[in-house]
């Protein structure tokens, strides 16, 4: 029976997942470790509303379990030594160097974790892959553990997360499925059952699926690829809708009522973002190419190409509509996070739209309910297309949406925050330069209501020819 769990990595997956496990399994001690002292300090902040990740319901879960059986620490070696089960939940970004640059997953942090576990562990451990990894990564982890350890025995399980940021706690409380992959040996099956028993404290047994480890690893990449494919598919049709006078929302509703297709992930937008979709598809492309499956690779790469096109097209539409120049013009961005109900900005469409507009010398003012100036500047600097000083001068963040929109030539909706719908749009219109444009990159506002006020409205796939 598992009594002590350690999770290496206190990010968007490790933090919420371990918090829920601790809340639902008060008999298990759960320790989340990270070398980032600032992040761990934030997780331990006495004001639970200041924890580093915003997810609806997360602060309440942390408040209940923290200090009872949920702990956040920088003492990685100690947590590894004490644990029966170790989750690896560190970042696996796309490589920016060497073979596979721009496509393959960078596994250096995974290997560092494996080597640290091997160095510290004195007794048998179950090691669980929580990070999204290429298929057959488990064999590399096991090879390191078996050949550099202290004689301890290790079982490697794959337990990919299927969380949607913004609904992560809800997803953890009532998952569609929990997927656990492991070896087919008796030892592997015993390890699988021990993790099944952890989740069974609150997840119905019929929702816990067990497979071999390779199927589990590949299933995560495949799930994200299929979801992203749907987004790119409807976005491709949104451009056709604009040219033909069709309404993409009506098209999406019509096809979504087909029980074989369903309505989810058929929302036209400026493009998908987040830490998973692009990274996982590029990883899938790289794996296919490494096996010589070039047609397979080309098929999935087109999903990314379409998503990049949608972001560029949105920026170009702003420029062309504003009389082919945005130089010196103030563009208000409502939203910077990649989706509502999260403060995660990784691969957010807003970053790339802002970059294109700043290249045209626009002045960007951003309001996001959960994202501030420091993160916005980090995102722009990471692109490395301008100096930090140039980014600071071109893109500013304010704490009030009405201030962001005041004297703006145009407003761009980049995140689907619900609160945007309830603003006093008449007041916003009165304080903008005329003609006043709204570019609704998420199709969340009422087109007719805005046009009745006087706005010139441009949505995604909803404009008449």
Q: What is the CA radius of gyration of the chain?
A: 24
The residue annotated as part of the active site, out of 25, 113, 241, 276, is 276
Report the alpha-carbon distance of residue 171 to residue 336 in Å, rounded: 23
Report the alpha-carbon distance of residue 183 to residue 282 in Å, rounded: 27
Report the alpha-carbon distance of residue 161 to residue 226 in Å, rounded: 15
382: Cβ contacts below 8 Å, ≥ 6 apart: none
DSSP string, 392-458: HHHEEE-S-HHHHHTT-SEEEE-S--GGGGGS-HHHHHHTS-SS-EEEETT--S-HHHHHHHT-EEE
413: Cβ contacts below 8 Å, ≥ 6 apart: 334, 335, 420, 438, 439, 440, 441, 442, 444, 445
Nearest Cα residue to 251 out of 261, 440, 458: 261
Long-range contacts of 259-268 (CB under 8 A, 24+ apart): 264/230, 265/227, 265/230, 265/231, 265/234, 266/230, 266/234, 267/231, 267/234, 267/442, 267/443, 268/234, 268/235, 268/237, 268/238, 268/443, 268/460, 268/461
∠ CA 114-120-125 to the nearest 5 degrees? 70
291 burial type by CB count under 10 A (0-12 exposed, 13-18 middle, 19+ buried): exposed
Asked if 276 is an active-site residue, the reply is yes
193: Cβ contacts below 8 Å, ≥ 6 apart: none
Residues taking part in catalysis: 276
């Amino acid at each position: 029976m598992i009594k002590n769990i350690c999770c290496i990595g206190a990010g968007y997956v490790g933090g919420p997942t371990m918090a829920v496990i601790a809340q639902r399994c008060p008999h298990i001690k759960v320790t989340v470790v990270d070398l980032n002292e600032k992040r761990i300090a934030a997780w331990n902040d006495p004001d639970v509303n200041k924890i580093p990740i915003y997810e609806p319901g997360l602060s309440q879960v942390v408040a209940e379990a923290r200090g009872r059986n949920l702990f956040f620490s920088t003492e990685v070696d100690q947590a590894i030594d004490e644990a029966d089960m170790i989750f690896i939940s560190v970042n696996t970004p796309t490589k920016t160097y060497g073979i596979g640059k721009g496509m393959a997953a960078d596994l250096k942090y995974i290997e560092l974790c494996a080597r640290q576990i091997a160095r510290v562990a004195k007794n048998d451990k179950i090691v669980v892959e929580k990070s999204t990894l290429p298929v057959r990564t488990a064999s590399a982890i096991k090879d390191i553990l078996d050949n550099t350890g202290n004689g301890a025995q290790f079982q490697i399980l794959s337990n990919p997360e299927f969380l949607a940021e913004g609904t992560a706690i809800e997803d953890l409380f009532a998952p569609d499925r929990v997927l656990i992959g492991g070896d087919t040996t008796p030892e592997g099956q015993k390890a699988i059952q021990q993790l099944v028993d952890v989740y069974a404290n609150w997840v119905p047994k019929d929702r816990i699926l067990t497979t071999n480890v390779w199927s589990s690893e590949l299933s995560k990449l495949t799930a994200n690829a299929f979801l992203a494919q749907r987004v790119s598919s409807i976005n491709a049709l949104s451009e056709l809708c604009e040219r033909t006078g069709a309404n993409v929302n009506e098209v999406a509703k019509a096809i979504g009522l087909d029980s074989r297709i369903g309505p989810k992930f058929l929302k036209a937008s400026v493009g998908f973002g987040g830490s998973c979709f692009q990274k996982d598809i590029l990883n899938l492309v790289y794996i296919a190419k490494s096996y010589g499956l070039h047609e397979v690779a080309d098929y999935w790469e087109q999903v990314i190409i379409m998503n990049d096109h949608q972001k560029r097209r949105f920026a170009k539409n702003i420029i062309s509509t504003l009389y082919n120049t945005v130089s010196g013009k103030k563009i208000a961005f409502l939203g910077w996070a990649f989706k509502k109900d999260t403060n995660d900005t990784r691969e957010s469409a807003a970053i790339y739209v802002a970059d294109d507009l700043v290249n045209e010398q626009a002045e960007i003012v951003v309001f996001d309910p959960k994202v501030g100036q420091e993160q916005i500047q980090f995102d722009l600097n990471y692109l490395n297309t301008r100096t930090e000083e140039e980014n600071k001068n071109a893109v500013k963040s304010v704490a009030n949406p009405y201030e962001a929109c005041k004297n703006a030539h145009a407003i761009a909706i980049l995140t689907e925050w619900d609160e945007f719908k309830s603003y006093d749009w008449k007041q916003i219109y009165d304080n903008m330069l005329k003609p006043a444009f709204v570019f609704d990159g998420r199709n969340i506002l009422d087109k007719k209501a805005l046009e009745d006020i006087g706005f010139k409205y441009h949505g995604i796939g909803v404009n008449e020819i």
